[in-house]
Amino acid sequence: MKKYIDVCNGDADGLCAVLQWRLAAPQAAQLVTGLKRDIALLKQVSASVGDEVLVCDLSLRRNLPALMSLLERGVQVTYFDHHEAGDIPLHSRLESHIDLAAGTCTSLLMDRYLKGEFRAWALVGAYGDNLERIATGMAIRMGLSPAQYHRLQALGESLNYNAYGDSRQDLLIDPEQLYRLMLGYADPMDFLRQEPVAQELDLRRHNDLQQARQMAPCWHNASGAVYLLPDAPWSRRIIGSLGNSLALAEPGLAHALLKPTANGDMLVSVRAPLTAPYGTAVLCRQFGGDGRAAAGGIDQLPAHKMEQFILAFSATQWCEHPAAVRRPGDRNNA
């Protein structure tokens, strides 16, 4: 019998993309999903000739070997995504909708494909991916009131937040179960009204943020602050988004969050000041980490290097322009 398998990131954007597709084309499909950090999910799919696989919101570059193996086995694959893709393979059984434009996300690509059939869910996904301005513009054009689109925004942010953590035990609800509940509603407003989990997700997110707000920085100066988080379920959930909240609250400051990991190292997350968003990657690479200009991290900072990291963080010259970033060891331009 022909199998349908849907594969997506477990965040709001991934779930809302697959959801729109399945509301438009109902099938008893299997869902393969995971935490926010689970990207290479396609290798978990077992499918054979004639089966159909839908992939949403997962980097094609990171899933390329598994994708090629499915295509070679005769599986039909439809791929929607907005992450760095590398070279997209040309294959008669692959249909790809990949768009890396800054103002889009997978839920919006799906919305474009389905001509707005389940737009309210697409907006939930877009809000989850922090596309507030774009989602609100679309909400206004579809006639939603501020009270209505603020509820979609809160839902998107809560669904998204649910995917953060080190393991499924850290989550309020498994993303697959959450998706099964969402699938009962063509309109997210009905989901909000009828599913108690919607309020529970919102409450969980606010409680975690409350815990985080009670912490004082362990180091700070005029240009930045460092926070040391305990290793607890709430901190494992919030460390992926707290930097963003802190940056929004203090746009002129750089922020670093450190949290012990199970093996005794430190997990580090760094955000440049919003007003000078360059310098993060250079800092993180000195300690074996990486990142983009404004946000980056170090997965395993040896605990004894914490002081050295804070020194390097305090010495970082945050820049308004990428060309001004100075690497350690660069000679000062006279």
Q: If phi over 0 gives left and psi between -120 and 50 gives alpha, with beta otherwise, what is residue 288?
A: left
Does position 111 interact with Mn ion (CB under 5 A)? The reply is no
Q: Which stretch binds Mn ion (CB under 5 A): 112-120, 128-136, 187-195, 262-270?
A: 128-136
166 lies in the binding site for Mn ion (CB under 5 A) = no
Q: Could you tell me which residues are beta bridge partners of residue 291? A: 296
What 8-state DSSP symbol labels residue 319?
B
Name the pairing type of β-strands 266-271 and 295-301.
Answer: antiparallel
State the nearest-atom distance from the C-beta of 300 to Mn ion, in Å.
Answer: 26
Residue 11 has a CB neighbour count (10 Å cut-off) of 27
Sign of CA dihedral 212, 192, 14, 10: positive
Q: How far is the CB of 75 from Mn ion (least distance, A)?
A: 23
| Residues 204, 205, 209: CA angle, nearest 5 degrees | 115
* Among 36, 45, 102, residue whose Cα is nearest residue 79: 45
Residue from 6, 51, 52, 57 in contact with Mn ion (CB under 5 A) = 57
CB of 13 to Mn ion, least distance (A): 3
Handedness of CA 114, 115, 118, 119 (dihedral sign): positive
Q: Structure tokens of 44?
A: 């978990």
Angle at 21 (CA atoms; ends 17, 24), nearest 5 degrees: 140
Residue recorded with tokens 């959450």: 178
Taking CB under 5 A as the rule, does residue 13 contact Mn ion?
yes
- Verify binding: residue 202, Mn ion, rule CB under 5 A: no
Interface with Mn ion by CB under 5 A: which range of 66-74, 103-111, 144-152, 162-170?
A: 103-111
CB of 125 to Mn ion, least distance (A): 7
To Mn ion, the closest distance from the beta carbon of 1 in angstroms equals: 32
Q: At its nearest, how many Å lie between Mn ion and the CB of residue 51?
A: 25
Query: Total binding residues for Mn ion by CB under 5 A?
Result: 5
Segment interacting with Mn ion, rule: CB under 5 A, options 101-109, 213-221, 239-247, 257-265: 101-109
Whether 45 and 18 have beta carbons less than 8 Å apart is answered as: no
Instruction: Report the nearest approach of Mn ion to the CB of residue 193 (Å).
Output: 26
From the list 8-16, 62-70, 90-98, 156-164, the region that binds Mn ion by CB under 5 A is 8-16
Residues 265 to 284 in contact with Mn ion, rule: CB under 5 A = none
105 binds Mn ion (CB under 5 A): yes
Nearer to Mn ion, 57 or 157 (CB): 57
Nearer to Mn ion, 61 or 93 (CB): 61
Q: Which stretch binds Mn ion (CB under 5 A): 5-13, 113-121, 165-173, 228-236?
A: 5-13
Lay out the sheet containing 295-301: strands in order across. 219-220, 224-228, 254-260, 266-271, 295-301, 290-291
Looking at the Cβ atoms of 81 and 166, the one nearer to Mn ion is 81
Closer Cβ to Mn ion, 130 or 148, answer by number: 130
Rg of the chain taking only CA atoms, in angstroms: 21
CA distances from 33 to 97, 271, 294 (A): 19, 28, 28
- Residue choice 6, 51, 52, 129 for contact with Mn ion (CB under 5 A): 129
**Is the Cβ of residue 54 or residue 229 nearer to Mn ion in the bound state?**
54
300: left (phi over 0), alpha (psi -120 to 50) or beta: beta
Q: Provide the binding-site residues for Mn ion, judged by CB under 5 A.
A: 13, 57, 105-106, 129
